[in-house]
Amino acid sequence: MRTVFWEKNELKMIDQRILPGRFEVLSYRGHKEVAHAITDMVVRGAPAIGAAAAFGLALAGYESASSSSSSLLADLQAASATLKAARPTAVNLAWAVDRLMEIASASSAERSADEIRQLILDEAQKLADEDVEINKRMAEHGAALINDGDTIILTICNTGALATVDWGTALGVIRTAHEQGKKIHVFVDETRPRLQGARLTAWELEQYGIPYEIISDNTAGYFLKAGKVQKCFVGSDRTAANGDVANKIGTYMLALAAFDNGVPFYPVVPTSTIDLSLAHGDLIPIEERNPQEVLGLEFEGQRVAPQNAKARNIAFDVTPNRLVTGIVTENGVAYPPFEASLRKVVKE
């Protein structure tokens, strides 16, 4: 089933906070609820966030009591600001909302308010359907980079079907290679502090029957240096025009270790996640989340940190393009110089 989908005038989303212990699907009827769900990580992963925000804007259209196109447009603009503020780093969120707002604005002169509501919902559904198709195309390009017998380290966070509408980005590549009959093994970084690797990626790999082992985040360098890893595949929440890649915190350290040991490092990135308006990664806004995500960690039922401890909880880091072997997109693999190759795949 899809991570994010529309059913009976409601947005339905898998609650990713409680996996793998429980599987639940939550329903949403208001855009503010959707924005809170994005912030609270009921839904996460840049493509999934984008689709959730698109359906959230559709909900805002039906929430509005406006009977005129102009007043509905004003309500939609207010809702779009609320949704776009939910997670600042993932560019897909703003991209999806802006895409729908452009259609609403272009139609406001000749369409009724109800027609605009339907247009927005139709476009949100189209965006979600496109995400699945794009992911499968990316997966084919990425799977061609994987050899039978490869040991792959799929690091930092979850990049599978749960991070998208369906199929996945980096984990979608792994899944496709597996379905092609390639014998592969996956090292899964646990991904602190929210443990999306240990909770979500491991859970998905079990569904697909792909052999894996969970490793602590700081073990990756050991396996890379020992020659136990042939390739690294990661996701991205925003990729700058020069190929700098923002992804879950810890990706930069993994890229450094991979580079130092001559292991290819491939972000898997839909073109909607490539932000050509940003010349380099230092311009990417980096989210800092609630310190309680770090301080609240427990071991064998006991709090890890001292009661009065303080913490910093940076959610993303930026991997410079010099550490990136190639960037897998739905339009092929982009190689350095990324300033030219990324523009080419986006244009296609």
Residue numbers annotated as active site: 237
Q: Do the beta carbons of residue 118 and residue 134 sit within 8 Å? A: no
Q: Are 239 and 327 in contact (CB under 8 A)?
A: yes
Bridge partners of residue 28, in order along the sequence: 11
Q: How far is it, in rounded angstroms, from Cα 2 to Cα 125?
A: 12
Partnered with residue 234 across adjacent β-strands are 267
Q: Please name the residue that has the structure tokens 């059913």.
A: 7
| 4: β partners | 13
Exposed/middle/buried for residue 64 (C-beta within 10 Å: 0-12, 13-18, 19+): buried
CA distances from 177 to 139, 147, 265 (A): 8, 8, 17
* DSSP for residue 314: B
